[in-house]
Amino acid sequence: MHFRDLTLAAAGLAAIFAAADAGAIYIRHDRTATPHEQLAAMFPATGYFGESNFQSCTATLVSPTQVLIAAHCVDNNANGNPDVSVSSMAFGLQVNVPSNLSENIASVAINPLWDSSNGDAAYDFAILTLSSPITSVAPALITSQNPVGQMGAAVGYGNQGTGTSHSDPSGADDKLAVTNMIERYGDDPIFSNNPTLQFDFDSPSNNRSTFGSNSPLNLEGATASGDSGSPLMAQFGDTWFVTGVLNTGYNPYGQDSLYGDISIYAAVQTPQNLAWLQSQGLRIIEDTTPVLGDANRDWFVDQSDLDLVLANWGSSTTAGTGADVSGDGFVGIEDLDILLAQWGEGTPFPGVALAAAVVPEPGSLALLSLGLVVLRCRRR
């Protein structure tokens, strides 16, 4: 078994972090680490979690001040209380974990079902509130959509291995990612009496597949100790969304994380989890269809979209990408018309005052009033 040891009682700090052995993403034995590093770079909001100089889990920034993580990373004995002082906890986004972590967590909220169910894998959610916001990285999007059948990605930190060996791939960054088809939502016979999301690590020799297709993806892989709390990303269209949080895993063929291994995630879509996450103020996107006018693909049409259109005004681009919300390959008046008509549409962060969110800044309005009258006249 890997990721967490349910037999641990509340113990001293050293014992807690020693148990959270910092192994991480496992890749195919016939692949190098480089493409997995490049894939990991597509998920800048996923970072490491730990204390002092101990990296123990992986977590994801889901608002400027909130981080989504597994409850067992902070409450391993499922008693509803953090195992260590909140003031000693740290979250960071560097590709490689620094030798000393900077404490930056103000509070921890633990899903009450994690406690009352005695640590059932299905309810393994917690939320960290940062002592100050992180604005350098866009938060990851979360959806309640069922991701089964979608392309998935796992992202994690620490030492790595391959499908045939626990030895590290040469020269790999701490942060790696792998892809996998998300093939199952339901009960797992070993770790959960309630629904979880799961995928398995298929062998390129087609001789190790626990369920679903036995054909591995090009960047297929598995999770391991130290990846706990990491997001299960699912691709809907061309956008990745968080759909679950890693709880545990096992390999019915034998050694953990090698070919045939199963990764098990608490699912956002489970009604009880969804209700709790929403009660904590997390932004949950129900409809993964892109929002018309949403230039920066954050699922809400507001000032940031207008800023992007103005910054790219008059430029040509691939049709339908970036600031070209009209799909004509050019950033101009058509895009602005759509954006203003759609202003305030989508899913804002909870607590955002609608009046403030839907009124363009005075500077933008002034620029528009000066420039667009001329542009419209020239079009006649």
Reduced 3-state DSSP string for 209-252 = CCCCCCCCCCCEEECCCCCCCCEEEEEECCEEEEEEEEEEEECC
On the question of pLDDT at 72 being above 60, the answer is yes
Are 277 and 337 in a shared domain?
A: no
> In the listed set 255, 284, 313, which residue is the last one of a domain according to the structure?
284
pLDDT, averaged across the chain: 87
Rounded CA-CA distance 268/144 in Å is 6
Are 253 and 323 in a shared domain?
A: no
Rounded CA-CA distance 229/59 in Å is 5
> Does some domain include residue 152?
yes
Helix and strand numbers, DSSP H then E, in the chain = 8, 18
Note the pLDDT of residue 365: 55
Note the pLDDT of residue 192: 75
Are 280 and 330 in a shared domain?
A: no
Note the pLDDT of residue 213: 86
Rounded CA-CA distance 305/116 in Å is 43
The answer to whether residues 67 and 229 touch, using CB atoms and an 8 Å cutoff, is no
Are 183 and 309 in a shared domain?
A: no
> Does some domain include residue 23?
yes
Q: pLDDT digits over 75-116, tens only?
A: 999 999 999 999 999 999 999 999 999 999 999 999 999 998
Rounded CA-CA distance 274/297 in Å is 22
Residue with tokens 């930056």: 104
E-strand ranges in the chain read: 23-27, 46-51, 54-63, 66-69, 89-92, 105-110, 126-130, 142-143, 151-156, 159-162, 176-181, 184-188, 192-200, 221-222, 231-236, 239-250, 262-267, 284-285
Across 236-268, b (16+ Cβ under 10 Å) vs e yields beebbbbbbbbbbbbbeeeebbbbbbbbbbbbb
Range in 118-122, 230-234, 275-279 the model is least confident about? 118-122
Residue 79 zone, left/alpha/beta (φ > 0; ψ -120 to 50; rest):
alpha
| Sign of CA pseudo-dihedral 250, 277, 66, 38 | positive
Residue 273's domain comprises: 13-284
> In the listed set 242, 257, 284, which residue is the last one of a domain according to the structure?
284
Range in 213-217, 232-236, 296-300, 372-376 the model is least confident about? 372-376
Are 118 and 42 in a shared domain?
A: yes
Are 86 and 157 in a shared domain?
A: yes
pLDDT band at 2 (very low <50, low <70, confident <90, very high): low
Torsion of CA 39, 200, 158, 9, to 10 degrees: 140
> Does some domain include residue 289?
no
Are 126 and 173 in a shared domain?
A: yes
Helix 303-311 and helix 362-378, axial crossing angle in degrees, nearest 10: 50
Are 209 and 340 in a shared domain?
A: no
Q: In the chain, how many domains are there? A: 2
Rounded CA-CA distance 161/330 in Å is 46
On the question of pLDDT at 378 being above 50, the answer is no
Of 240, 120, 250, which Cα lies nearest the Cα of 182? 240
On the question of pLDDT at 23 being above 50, the answer is no
Are 37 and 143 in a shared domain?
A: yes
Q: How is residue 39 written in tokens?
A: 């894939």
Q: Which residues contact 242 (CB under 8 A, 6 or more apart)?
A: 60, 62, 68, 140, 141, 142, 143, 231, 232, 233, 268
Rounded CA-CA distance 201/222 in Å is 6
> Does some domain include residue 250?
yes
pLDDT band at 206 (very low <50, low <70, confident <90, very high): confident
> Does some domain include residue 6?
no
Q: pLDDT digits over 126-142, tens only?
A: 999 999 999 999 999 99
Percentage of the chain exceeding pLDDT 70: 85
> Does some domain include residue 5?
no
On the question of pLDDT at 292 being above 90, the answer is yes
Q: Which CATH number is 237's domain given? A: 2.40.10.10
